[in-house]
Every structure is written in C-alpha cells, then in structure tokens.
Structure 1
C-alpha cells in the first residue's frame, strides 16, 4: 500500500507541476508531480465524500463491490515507514454497474473491532465462500508489527466480525485473495519498506534498523508471498512461498531492476487458462504484470499495465465484468496529497495474444 516518494517519477513524467511534498529515503524533500501538458484524467473519482485507495473489486451476486482503504488526514508528517497512512476503518463501496451510482456503505470494520490490533488498517481484500463473506486486512499488532487478519459477515458490506488473533504465520501487508477455477483459494501478500516485508527476509522478524532495505543490487529481488488458504478460509494450509518473477531470459528479477521487480500491491487473475500476477513496482510507480501456468508461479515479466499516476502510490485490482475487463486504481485528483487518495476505474484491453495494453491516466 505504501510507496516511498522517489526522484524517479520526475524523470518519468518530465516537466511537472508540483502538488504535494514528501521525503525520500535519503531525507531530501521531493514533490508529487503532474505533467503540465497532461491536465485531464481519463476517469473521475468514484466517490468524493471520503478519501479511498487500494481498491479491491469483486462481483458478488451480479453486483460490484469495492473494498478500499479509507484515507484520513491524521496530521502525521510523511515518512518512509508510512506513519501518515493512519487509516482506522473500512467502508465498502457498491454499484450495480460501471458508470452507475456508487454507494458508500456504513463502516464495515474498525481498528477497535480487532482484538489484537494496534494501528494502521491498510489495504484489504475480500472473498465469498458458502454463504459467508471474508474480509482480509493488514494491521499492525500491539508490538507495531504488521500481521494479516480475517473477519467474516453474511453481508458483502458488513459489518464484519474479526477473528480474535491474526492468521498464524502471516506478516507484512496487501493481502489479495484469488479463487482458482478448481475452487481453491490462494492469498498473495507483501510490501516493502513501510510494509515490513524486508524485515522477514530470514523468516524471522528483524527489529527496526537491522533489516530495513531491499537487498543487494545484484541479488534476486525480494518478492511477494503466495499461500493456499485452508477450507475454512481463516488459515494458511501451508507455509508461504516466494512468488518468483523471471525476466525474458528466465532469470529471477534483481533488486536493482526497479522498473520491473515487485514492491507491493499484488493482484492475481486468470484469463484463457493463464495466470496473471500483477503488482506495483513501488518506488518507480508502475503497475506491471507477469504470467505463468500455475498460481504458484514462476511468472515471466510481460509489461506495464498502468503508467505512473498523480500521487506516487499505485495499488489496484483487475476484474472482468459482463465480458469486459476493468482496472480499478487510485490517484490524488481530489486532494493533491499522497495520503488522501481517491479510487477510479477504467476499461482494460487484453489482446487475443494475452498481452495487456498499457494505460496512461492522463488525456494527451
């Protein structure tokens, strides 16, 4: 969910109008940018009454439900740990069709509803199985370590009742749950820097300052995790595995390959028998995709889904609705501030050969 502010985006977007400030890992101040020649957006915010981000969209019983983060202005200065992303609850968005009226439903879950939670209720996802809706969420525990929890409800909009403990062996952020065609469920998760994934490189949590970076430039990059869920939808049925992303030569992507390697924001979908692992590059602010023949991977990098948007952070979902593909994403059109975002949706073109046409959110 959280991306570090980076000077790279200035190079990507060229001449810019500055709208919000932040800190790089080196401590220098940079600014969110919008190309001065690209002042129009291809889509509008779905809702304007609250700030929303990280949209996980699903179709349940013929209706579209979106499970986003709920951004608030907590008055906390920006930093690389993402402390300014101090979200406290979730609201589910719903609509009958793309382009139709969007309803902001009542609070579905709050930090106070989660017995083990401390702070920062970040990007969620949801699933439905045998009459019950499941909400998966990352939140820091009372020791300030991100874990992934699960809550359930008989309604897709909640309220959801959280389990008394986080999912055993869970860690980091950005859970994304995928149902395969055989009925099996898999969770993809992980996020670097503020999402703490790098602190689990040794399979044990490393305290602040001991393991807080991406790794050595010429080593295989830190990557997302994938795990099969148990039949009760509330546990892992196995130990999490690495999501291996390969280059065109069949070699694992390296840490230094910032334009291609995983950073956060996993999403999985299947099209014509092929598995698409999609994700954010984080500090280069692109959504990318890699394909494979198994939900476990390995996946081969194929290209960019979405070019950098206004506001640095990039997190998404991809859903087929009535035979058409759509990309749900966020930017900062409403506020111009990186921590006060708004969700959007735009059509997505997947060509007959399986390649995805790159989206640019600015009208040229």
Structure 2
C-alpha cells in the first residue's frame, strides 16, 4: 500500500491537543500557467509532455472535468479532451512560487513538513501570530497566498495529519474544511474507503468484496480480521478508521524515494494478476512523481511470497524517469526472471529512487529509454 507505516499510527500517547493544517495548492502547476498567461484562463490546460508518449504532470480543473489527470499519457489526455492545451513545465517558476508560499508558512510556525512543491503539513498548536485557533491561522495563510501569488489554496484543519489531509480535499478548489476532535469519527464514517490515503483501486475493490464500502464499514472490522485480510496494512486501516494518527509534523523530512505496494486478499500466481498489481503501483508512484516534479533513475520491485520470504530487484536506468509507462515496463522486466512463481505472492510493490528534479525530467519518455509500451 502507499501510505503511512502502520506503526506510526499506533496510539502510544495522548493526542496532546495538536492543531494540524494541511495546505494543498489547487491544480498548482496548471494554475501558475493560467496566472501567467491570461489566454489560458478558463480553458482546459495540461502541463507536461506534448508528444503522444509524454505524460501529464498537472491538469487544470477545466481539463479534469474531461477525465484528464496527472500521470496520464499525453495521447490519452488529448483523446479525452480534444481541445486540451499543453504547456511545457517550468519547474524553476514552480519552485520560486513554492518558496514564496513556504515563506508565508514560516511567518506562522517553524513546524512545516513539505510533501511536495504544492503541499505541506503545518503544526500550529502554537503559532507566531498569536491567533486563537488553527482555523483562523488557515484563513490567514490562504488569504496571504492569494494576495501574494494570485493562486488559491485549500486547507484541512484537524487534530492529526491523517484527517487534515482528507479534509483539505473535501471542499476543493479554494476550500477550507475543519474537523474538530469530537467530529473525527463522524467525518470518516460516510467517506468511501477509496478516499482513504493508502487505499488504491485494487485494495478498495477487495474491501468492497468484503462488504467494506465506507469508513463506518471499516471501523466495524476487528483488528484481527483486517490483519488477516491485509497483512501489516490491516493495522493502518484499523487505526485510520478510528481517526487515530499520532505522527508528528517533521520539519526535517526528506523524501529519498517514492514507493507503492499492495498486500493481497488472496495470494497471486497468474501473470496477469501480478502485472495488474504492478500497473496500479506504477500509476500511484507516477502520480506522486508528477506532482512533486521528481524523477528517478532507479526502479525497484518488492515481492513477498506466502511464506513471507521477501525479494527485491532493482535496475538503474540511463536517464531519469517519472511516467507510469516507464515504471511499469521496467517493473515487468524485473518480475520476469521470478516467474512463474512457485508460491503465491502476498505483497508486490514498485519504488522509484535515486531521485532528482529539473525541467527535463517529466519530458523523458518511455520511447527514449527503449521501454515503449502502448497505452490501452
């Protein structure tokens, strides 16, 4: 699964009255381009590779209405939205705007944990401005961002990181959602399990087969049942459904890799099932890479058999990649020598490491690396 490690959710101490804000810029790259070029405003815009085998790094809200999303192949995006306008990414501009935004954050708190250029957690339990509530701090930050950058940000305010992140997506774009300690369980109860951070499409489908459709359904499951069905991820699901997350905001957090893995309800044997799992993980990693402006030269897979024996295989490529196509094809090539699998596979994942950033990264295509794979 792609999400916090279960142990970091363990209820090891009292919550301590934390006040956490998750700030998420709205369609950041595309919004910057629309801000700087008035002719793009109100139109469907995709930032990323313009060639058929390029990848979408970000899509404006106008483009999202057609189903265009980050990490999607440019050719598919163009077919979904024939009027889509492609703009090449300008990472030096996005980094400068991100620097402005983080300077605003620093006027309110020193406890800032960046997740990407456009997303961060802030612990405002104590704040430099002496504001009485975290909600007031969030309103002030959003107003400052709008005034100084011309861009909108959405904010989730809550007592832990898990709920704050979910809340920031609740009223997008340009939204504010506050979830107080006595509202956490009620907030999570009606949410589809697919909305939970760390629950990908394959896991969500498995949950639905088990009758788990919402946060309320998930909360009715015992810890033992979830551990039996989802392995170590079961602990995370158990605690998340109960709104338990004691992870602190970590200002020194530096991402060294981007990974996604899934633990399966039934052990997998067939190539098509293993390939589908690699496809999902590759898509998840690519979405995060596109959002953060990262690319990496090393692709690795992690495979755990039914007897818990775990293998990893890695390949360092001649140039950085960030698109789902390249990740998936490389992952398939790493899996090939391990097939046919003698035992069932209970966990499979993909990781991108040896990360860097720069303008050229998102324009690196599968074709350039001779890893061509046709999109369906």
TM, length-normalised to structure 1:
0.28
Structure having the larger proportion of residues in helix: 2
TM, length-normalised to structure 2:
0.28
Larger radius of gyration: 2
Which protein has greater RCO, CA pairs closer than 8 Å, 6+ apart?
A: 2
